[in-house]
Amino acid sequence: SLFLQTVHACTRAVYLGNNDHIITARSMDWKVDVGTNLWIMPSGIERDSNAGPKSLKWKSKYGSVIATGYDISTTDGMNEAGLVANVLWLVESQYPDTKKSNKPQLSISAWAQYVLDNFSTVAEAVKTLEKEPFDLITDNVPGEQRLTTLHLSISDKTGDSAIIEYIGGKQVIHHNKKYQVMTNSPTFDQQLALNTYWQQIGGTVMLPGTNRAADRFARASFYINAIPKNDNPKDAIASVFSVIRNASVPYGLNTAEEPNISSTRWRTVSDHKQQLYFFESAVSPNVFG
């Protein structure tokens, strides 16, 4: 199956630069190597999320470059229209009960790919997702006895953003250009409330320094807006890389009870305007773009 379930914990931040220069960065944090490779996914391909007899099927409208999890699921990517999708771990996620539903079903590990294949902007994606055309289904993490629980962030070349979560079995969409940062627990509305506290203190006075998701959220939120709005694209990319590195977890540091506090395995930076996708592994000094 192309779209088996995997697990993610990380940080995602969107830079809103000068001259419509939009850049999205994310880190992948997990306790083991997730076997990531980069793939080019062409347009015009018939898709099946392999979710069983009611599996959702579609034909890809847009080509994309993606980073995989265990080389069998889409964890991160950007399509040819400049839309970026990222899935991150959210332990509070609860997905719909599908026993009485006749909707087609989408495997959670195909969630990001479905968005990349079908939409060119955040607004377009949100318009469709609000109609809830499918039931999102999950399964156990490979080799573990717990369910895969994720939330999804999307951003586009206009700087628009949306965060999609499933809380108490219901889809919740947060759609606004100001939603530049997402990490893991707690749910996004609570992350925003916590971040408001740190904004009142001011990042130049004090920022939380632990590896916990709420602290990474506060640091990324401050720095992604504090870095200079560089007119030079290379400088802007370098600045954004420095922000996502600042929110990374030291290699080799893992907390078994809290997978969202685990080593950063890799980082990506997506330049929406220039259509550039950069990949940096924690175990390699090179950045692949």
Q: Which of 10, 137, 218, 249 is catalytic?
A: 10
Residue-level pLDDT at 89: 86
Q: Are 49 and 105 in contact (CB under 8 A)?
A: yes
What are the sequence ranges of the domains in the chain? 9-283
Q: Which of 139, 142, 150, 136 is nearest to 88 (CA)?
A: 150
Tell me the per-residue pLDDT of 110-160, one tens digit each, with 9 for 90 and over: 999 999 999 999 999 999 999 999 999 998 766 777 787 889 999 999 999
* CATH number belonging to the domain at 9-283, selected among 3.40.50.80, 3.40.50.620, 3.40.50.2300, 3.60.60.10: 3.60.60.10
Widest pairwise Cα distance in the chain: 56
Tell me the per-residue pLDDT of 3-16, one tens digit each, with 9 for 90 and over: 333 444 589 999 99
10 counts as catalytic = yes
Kindly list the strands in the beta sheet with 73-79, ordered across the sheet, starting from the edge strand earlier in the chain. Answer: 38-41, 64-69, 73-79, 84-89, 150-155, 161-167, 170-175
Structure tokens at 267: 């980082």
Residue-level pLDDT at 2: 38
The low-confidence residues of the chain, meaning pLDDT below 50, are: 1-8
Tell me the per-residue pLDDT of 277-287, one tens digit each, with 9 for 90 and over: 999 998 886 77
